[in-house]
Amino acid sequence: MSDDKKEKEIDVNVVVSKVTNDVSRRSFIKTTGLALGGLAMMGMIPPGIRSAAWAAGSDAPEKTSLKIGFIPLTDCASVVMAGELGLFKKYGLDVTVTKEASWAGVRDKLVNGELDAAHVLYGLMYGVQMGIGGPKKDMAVLMSINNNGQGITISNQLRSKGVVDGASLKKLIDKIDGEKREYTFAQTFPTGTHAMWLYYWLSAYGINPFTDVKNITVPPPQMVANMRVGNMDGYCVGEPWNARAIYDKVGFSAATTQDIWKDHPEKVLGTTLEFTQKYPNTTRAMLMAVLEASKYIDTISNRPAVAKVISRKSYVNAPEDVIEGRFLGDYDNGLGRKWKDPDYMKFYNDGTVNFPYLSDGMWFLTQHKRWKLLKDDPDYLAVAKKVNQIDIYKEAASQVKVPVPKDVMRSSKLIDGVVWDGSDPKKYANSFKIKV
Amino acid sequence: MKLRIMLVDADLQRMDLLMNTLQDTGHWVIACNDEAGSLCKHVRDIQPDVIIINTDSPIRDTLEHLCVIDRDEPRPVVMFTHDNDKQKMRAAIRAGVSAYVVDGMTGSRVQSIIDIAMARFEEHRTLKNELEKATATLAERKKIERAKGFVMKQRDCSEDEAYRLMRKMAMNGNKKLSDIADNINIAADIFV
């Protein structure tokens, strides 16, 4: 921002706060026949001036007491830390973060308003928007919480049959003279991110996730135990539950999700569209707090302390060292390979993690279509524009000095070499050879 | 029509209550514990018409999957909740939030099952609350008795007199009788 512009904004800021603090404001609204309240008033003021007005404190949250849900996974860190570091308080919010038992529970509570917002799977938000398998409601993705840091674990039982990666898994499944049995793979929610990573990964190796293997849904904290008793041969889940399988010697990491898509979208801070419209200031305050926490967590020297906090029983409830390794980028696949992963779980990365790219949102819709969770092609772009709250995000980001990318789309090359840039979602969705 | 109802809950006592209630209505009820691995198998084997599950159960996602993905075996699911706000829960069910699509069964039937289940659940909770209250009262009584004994001994007075003294003290200090008893008991520990 140039100094010149800054000065102007400060000028306007004084004027605006004068107006909003004026006791005659109410009568002003009445006499002009604009009985619309502060929100509509703000809506008429250009965005640049608006942000200056918020800085002046005329932007008090409409609702201050909030409940934000999370599921015990390493990537709940930014929501948890926003509370632990007092950042919600800093922005005028009194937030209770509540540990939830299931994604279906998170969804229901978001829909009926029991939760104001949640740490939630990107794909789930779009599933609810489209009414897949449950209630249909207009949802709002406020920001992306993290990139990377999930993984695919395969049981040591399959390892003893020579499986070490996708290609060898395909070989085993194709073996005609081999043992005739069904192979079972688990993910965490039918429309969620892990289901999509698992399906994409299997398909990249020529395995159809619906016809070549059986796939089931298991809650994240129950994955390791279920693999131990032989209920499944592989699973896709967020950390620390892949590291935990190695720690417990029941499985190994066949792939990380950053292998499938470097810097892929994962969890989001989600709420309903209704909430953002009813409480725009609260929404922004919440975003600012979580963005600041994201910055804090991505300062790598802070991470050991963060790992310690989130390992607590009230949060992830897993041994600190199981969380910490991969959280710091120190990977071990359980097959003897150890490496420093540059694409470990990121929460900020100069704001590139957090921006709600429309192409990210649309990608989940294309995969829902691919696997027939959606029967027909939706208007991909229109849905993404409605769900991803780019305007509110930009307002909040500018307040906490988080850089915002110029383009609402981004381009990525996935594991199968196919590029996704959001330019033709319909063509992309229908281009996959392996599908339902 | 006799329904095959599957009950899924980690709380065995509550499950038992619900099971009896639902059986009384003439339905066939199967109970199942709260574990993802066994659930899929049970659903396939038992083929229930309705599944009643706690809203806060972690394996709800597993059921969700059976409804969304395995379209050949979707089972209608209804559920109850720990939530204190019964009205809210009912509203949620009406809004379709917590009730999955019910195929081949009228909504009113499911509603009546939910009603019974919830009424029974409510009863269970009331009983539990009453038990907790009774336990707390008993503990309080014990404290007061002990304090009374100490006052009687120190003042060489009757039980009634000791009680009156303590009550007066509580009233003057705007405190609960049990708090006064606590204080006396602490002091007594020093002297005795």
CATH code for position A402: 3.40.190.10
Q: Are residues A278 and A348 in the same domain?
A: yes
pLDDT band at B111 (very low <50, low <70, confident <90, very high): low
> Which of A265, A247, A141, A103 lies closest to A196 in space, CA to CA?
A265
Place of tokens 């969304």: B68
CATH code for position B27: 3.40.50.2300
Query: Residue A156: inside a domain, yes or no?
Result: no
ipTM of the complex: 0.74
Q: Are residues B28 and B81 in the same domain?
A: yes
Q: Are residues B144 and B123 in the same domain?
A: no
Beta strand A267-272 with A150-155 is: unpaired
Structure confidence at residue A35 (pLDDT): 35
Q: How close does chain B come to A103, measured CA to CA in Å?
A: 6
Which of the listed residues B95, B114, B129 is the one where a domain comes to its end? B129
Q: Are residues B22 and B116 in the same domain?
A: yes
Distance, CA of B142 to CA of B148 (rounded, Å): 10
Which of the listed residues B129, B149, B177 is the one where a domain comes to its end? B129
Instruction: Kindly give the confidence (pLDDT) of every residue in chain A, 436 residues in length, as a single tens digit, with 9 standing for 90 and above.
Output: 444 444 333 333 333 333 333 333 333 333 333 333 333 344 444 444 444 445 444 589 999 999 999 999 999 999 999 999 999 999 999 999 999 988 988 998 898 888 999 999 999 999 999 988 777 899 999 999 999 999 999 999 999 999 999 999 999 999 866 566 889 999 999 999 999 999 999 999 999 999 999 999 998 988 999 999 999 999 999 999 999 999 999 999 999 999 999 999 999 999 999 999 999 999 999 999 999 999 999 999 999 999 999 999 999 999 999 999 999 999 999 999 999 999 999 999 999 999 999 999 999 999 999 999 999 999 999 999 999 999 999 999 999 999 999 999 999 999 999 999 999 999 999 999 999 9
Q: Does A414 touch chain B (CB under 8 A)?
A: no
Structure confidence at residue A291 (pLDDT): 98
Helix (H) or strand (E) holding A377, with range, is none
Q: Do A104 and B63 touch (CB under 8 A)?
A: yes
Q: Are residues B56 and B143 in the same domain?
A: no
Query: Residue A193: inside a domain, yes or no?
Result: no
Q: Are residues B9 and B101 in the same domain?
A: yes
Query: Residue A301: inside a domain, yes or no?
Result: yes
Query: Residue A116: inside a domain, yes or no?
Result: yes
Q: How many domains does chain B have?
A: 2
What would the two tokens of residue A87 be?
């950042």
Structure confidence at residue A203 (pLDDT): 98
Structure confidence at residue A58 (pLDDT): 59
Q: Are residues A89 and A21 in the same domain?
A: no
Q: How close does chain B come to A133, measured CA to CA in Å?
A: 5
pLDDT band at B108 (very low <50, low <70, confident <90, very high): low
Domain containing B167 equals 135-191
Query: Residue A119: inside a domain, yes or no?
Result: yes
Distance, CA of A233 to CA of A244 (rounded, Å): 16
Q: Are residues A285 and A398 in the same domain?
A: yes
Structure confidence at residue B121 (pLDDT): 61
Q: Does A131 touch chain B (CB under 8 A)?
A: no
Q: How close does chain B come to A114, measured CA to CA in Å?
A: 9
> Which of A102, A53, A431, A345 lies closest to B98 in space, CA to CA?
A102
- Give residue ranges of B with CB < 8 Å to any A CB: 35-37, 40, 55-65, 67-69, 83, 88, 91-92, 95-98, 100
- Are A315 and A80 a contacting pair, CB within 8 Å? yes
Residues of chain B contacting A133 with CB distance shorter than 8 Å: 64, 67-68
Which of the listed residues B129, B146, B178 is the one where a domain comes to its end? B129
User: 3-state DSSP call for residue A89?
Assistant: helix
- Tell if the pTM clears 0.80, that is, is over it: no
- Are A145 and A293 a contacting pair, CB within 8 Å? no
> Which of A238, A154, A231 lies closest to A192 in space, CA to CA?
A238
Structure confidence at residue B3 (pLDDT): 73
Domain containing A14 equals 3-55
Q: Report which residue type is found at A230.
A: G
Q: Are residues B85 and B159 in the same domain?
A: no
Query: Residue A312: inside a domain, yes or no?
Result: yes
Residues of chain B contacting A209 with CB distance shorter than 8 Å: none
Q: Are residues A50 and A117 in the same domain?
A: no
Q: Are residues B161 and B125 in the same domain?
A: no
CB contact set of A39 (below 8 Å; sequence gap of 6+)? A280
Distance, CA of A281 to CA of A274 (rounded, Å): 13
Q: Are residues B21 and B91 in the same domain?
A: yes
Residue A240: is the preceding peptide bond cis (ω within 30°)?
Answer: yes
Residues of chain B contacting A198 with CB distance shorter than 8 Å: none
Q: Do A108 and B59 touch (CB under 8 A)?
A: no
Q: Are residues B59 and B149 in the same domain?
A: no
Q: How close does chain B come to A118, measured CA to CA in Å?
A: 15
Q: What share of chain A is helix, strand, coil (3-state, %, to 5)?
A: 45, 15, 40
Q: Are residues A19 and A136 in the same domain?
A: no
Query: Residue A221: inside a domain, yes or no?
Result: no
The vertex-A117 CA angle with A114 and A121, nearest 5°, equals 115
Q: Among B69, B75, B78, pick the best mutation site for testing chain A contact (most A Cβ within 10 A).
A: B69
- Are A129 and A137 a contacting pair, CB within 8 Å? yes
Residues of chain A contacting B64 with CB distance shorter than 8 Å: 103-104, 133-134, 189-190, 217
Q: Are residues A124 and A24 in the same domain?
A: no
Q: Are residues A137 and A34 in the same domain?
A: no
Tell whether the model's pLDDT for residue B97 goes beyond 80. Answer: no
Structure confidence at residue A133 (pLDDT): 72
Q: Are residues A142 and A271 in the same domain?
A: yes
- Are B7 and B29 a contacting pair, CB within 8 Å? yes
Q: How many domains does chain A have?
A: 2
Nearest chain A alpha carbon to B68: A133
Q: Do B68 and A104 touch (CB under 8 A)?
A: no
CATH code for position B141: 1.10.10.10
Q: Are residues A385 and A311 in the same domain?
A: yes
Q: Are residues A272 and A397 in the same domain?
A: yes
Q: Are residues B179 and B146 in the same domain?
A: yes
Q: Do B64 and A133 touch (CB under 8 A)?
A: yes
Q: Do B36 and A226 touch (CB under 8 A)?
A: yes
- The C-alpha torsion from A344 through A350 and A355 to A361, rounded to 10°, is -30
Q: Are residues B27 and B116 in the same domain?
A: yes
Q: Does A374 touch chain B (CB under 8 A)?
A: no
Q: Are residues B37 and B121 in the same domain?
A: yes
Query: Residue A238: inside a domain, yes or no?
Result: no
Tell whether the model's pLDDT for residue B31 goes beyond 90. Answer: no
Q: How far is CA A242 from CA A104, A288, A315, A388, B164, in A?
A: 22, 31, 17, 30, 66
Q: Are residues A50 and A70 in the same domain?
A: no
Q: Does A72 touch chain B (CB under 8 A)?
A: no
DSSP letter for each residue of A400-424: TT----S-S---EE-TTS-EE-SS-
Q: Do A217 and B97 touch (CB under 8 A)?
A: no
Q: Are residues A272 and A390 in the same domain?
A: yes
Structure confidence at residue A65 (pLDDT): 97
